[in-house]
Structure 1
Amino acid sequence: MALLNNDKDVLPLSSISELLNAKIRTLKMYEDKKLFPLKNNKLKKLYSINDIKIIAFVHYLANIKKINANGISYILTMIENNMDEKNRNDFLDMIENKLENISQSDIQDLESF
């Protein structure tokens, strides 16, 4: 059995929207604002498992924490420039664990607020 390559680009945005219970249009908006990982300074059409962690973090910051695109861009830049790969991955894993504990009803309550 081969090991999984979490950096291989395999998932389209439509599949990610299903995984995150997010509207595809919302994710496209984040993509248009260049809040998602780029490949050779171009928007990607397929995303890796590691990219999904960033996308989930962006979605969390925008939907739950209500941070605007400029703020999210600043946070992502700070993470990219000030954390080595191991610390960045540990941080994103910690965020992923916290996101798993947010129930769907909590998200709907926040969206209706």
Structure 2
Amino acid sequence: MALLDNNKDVLPLSSIAELLTAKARTLKMYEEKGLFPKKKELKKLYSINDVQIISFVHYLASVKKINANGIKYIIEMLENNMDEKNKADFLEIVEKKLEKLSAKEIVDVESM
């Protein structure tokens, strides 16, 4: 059995929305605002590694109530000022925090 390639783009946004218990339209809105990793293909697919960033963006918007410009700044800081190991460690910490949140604590942006 081959090892999984976490950088291979295989997941559509609708599947990621299911994983995050978010609305696909909400994630599409984040995507349109340029908050997700850039994709060149017409049919945009995301990797497992992209899911970490997407869940972080969703957390910042829905739980912390940070606007798109603030999220862009935070993501830019992550990309430009952290090496891959520190970035992965940071996103792992965020992922553990997200696991502790209940669905009630995450208010969908569309419902506002």
Aligned to 1:82: 81
CA root-mean-square deviation: 2.0
What is the alpha-carbon distance in structure 2 between the residues aligned to residue 106 and residue 65 of structure 1?
10
Q: Which runs of 5+ in 1 are unaligned?
A: none
Q: Secondary structure at the match of 1:38?
A: coil
Q: Compared with structure 1, are the counterparts of its residues 7 and 73 closer, same or farther at alpha carbon in structure 2 (3 Å cutoff)?
A: same
Percent identity (aligned): 71
Q: Compared with structure 1, are the counterparts of its residues 62 and 75 closer, same or farther at alpha carbon in structure 2 (3 Å cutoff)?
A: same
Task: Please report how far the alpha carbon of residue 112 of structure 1 lies from its aligned counterpart in structure 2 after TM superposition.
Answer: 8.1
Task: Please report how far the alpha carbon of residue 43 of structure 1 lies from its aligned counterpart in structure 2 after TM superposition.
Answer: 7.6
Aligned to 2:11: 11
Q: Which amino acid aligns with 1:20?
A: L
**Higher RCO structure (Cα 8 Å, ≥6 apart):** 2
What is the alpha-carbon distance in structure 2 between the residues aligned to residue 39 and residue 62 of structure 1?
21
Please identify runs of 4+ aligned residues in structure 1 that moved more than 6 A. none
What is the alpha-carbon distance in structure 2 between the residues aligned to residue 78 and residue 44 of structure 1?
28
How many residue pairs align between the two structures? 110
What is the alpha-carbon distance in structure 2 between the residues aligned to residue 69 and residue 43 of structure 1?
23
Q: Compared with structure 1, are the counterparts of its residues 102 and 26 closer, same or farther at alpha carbon in structure 2 (3 Å cutoff)?
A: same
Q: Compared with structure 1, are the counterparts of its residues 87 and 58 closer, same or farther at alpha carbon in structure 2 (3 Å cutoff)?
A: same
